[in-house]
Amino acid sequence: MVIGLTYGMLDFTWGCSIMIVLSFSGGTVMEKQTFESDGRTATLYKSEEANRPFILLNNYEGDGSFVVEAMEEIDPPACNLLVVGDLKWNHDMTPWYCPPLTEKDTPCTGGADDYLNLLLTEIMPRAMQHIEGTPSFTGIAGYSLAGLFAVYATFQSDVFDRVASISGSLWFPDFREYVLSHQMKKQPEKMYFSLGDKEAKTRNRYLKAVQNNTEEIAEHCIQLGINVTWELNPGNHFRDAALRSAKGIKAILE
């Protein structure tokens, strides 16, 4: 089954609307709007320019303001950025079950398909009704498990033209094998992969595979003819998360 965006006349209430100024490409006025959907908080940073790209960023919690501030510092092309936060992280972002990584951890419960359906039938159409013009392309970005989800979404939907998996959890059991043996519903124009250079330096039997898996998946995408950027950043999984996210978004905007 291919999941696509559902458009129509939707009746909904936005939580708030304020004007903020960001220096994207020389100083762009953006309008920040928020709304709730099934317990998730969606924040749209709307470009004043028509027909700018639409980028979806799944975020663990909050409105993505730290990522937006980091984007301001590196000056990417203007875009409409939709940040969805307050997620059921280990459920929404994972394609299937994974046991806890440690004794104190919680399992991943494989709710990605249901969450993707919520995105494409409700959250994204709501946001797109409030942007100027028609997006020149649609991208998806995410950090950690959200980076895993970003790649997985290309196998379940034909919506996303560009993908950024930033410090993506491509260690996830059986995911490398899934990517190598399945066909994307729509082959992206560009894909960006990144990791910290210390992320694979662990004794955990799952996590230590992350760099090898990421490199194999990136190479597979190159062989498919996709324009792929693979970047290794200094540090572990938690270092410079906002800046890394901003760099990944910029890479798929350019």
Residue 17: pLDDT over 70: no
Q: Is the pLDDT of residue 78 over 60?
A: yes
In a domain, 237, yes or no: yes
pLDDT digits (tens, 9 = 90+) for 33-74: 999 999 999 999 999 999 999 999 999 988 999 999 999 999
Token code pair at residue 85? 């936060």
Please tell me the predicted confidence (pLDDT) of residue 31: 84
Mean pLDDT taken over the chain? 90
Specify the number of domains making up the chain. Answer: 1
The closest alpha carbon to 143, from 85, 223, 222, 229, belongs to 85
Q: With respect to residue 2, please indicate whether it lies within any of the assigned structural domains.
A: no
Query: Of 101, 78, 76, which is closest to residue 245 (Cα–Cα)?
Result: 76
- 9 is a domain residue: no
Instruction: Return the half-sphere exposure (C-beta side, CA atoms, 13 A cut-off) of residue 49.
Output: 17
**Does residue 6 lie in a domain region?**
no
73-89: average pLDDT:
96
**What CATH number has the domain bearing residue 238?**
3.40.50.1820
Contact between 59 and 83 under an 8 Å Cβ cutoff? The reply is yes
Q: Which of 221, 222, 76, 51 is nearest to 137 (CA)?
A: 51
Residue 238 confidence class, pLDDT cut points 50, 70, 90: confident
Written as six digits, the tokens of 31 are 């309008």
- Is 7 a domain residue? no
State the residue range of the domain holding 174. Answer: 16-253
Rounded Cα–Cα distance for residues 121 and 166 (Å): 25
Give mean pLDDT, residues 164-191.
Answer: 98
What per-residue confidence (pLDDT) applies to 103? Answer: 86
Domain-located, residue 3? no
Burial-class residue 249 by CB neighbours within 10 Å (0-12, 13-18, 19+).
buried
Mind listing the pLDDT tens digit for each residue in 92-137? 999 999 999 988 899 999 999 999 999 999 999 999 999 999 999 9
Is the per-residue pLDDT at 25 higher than 60? no
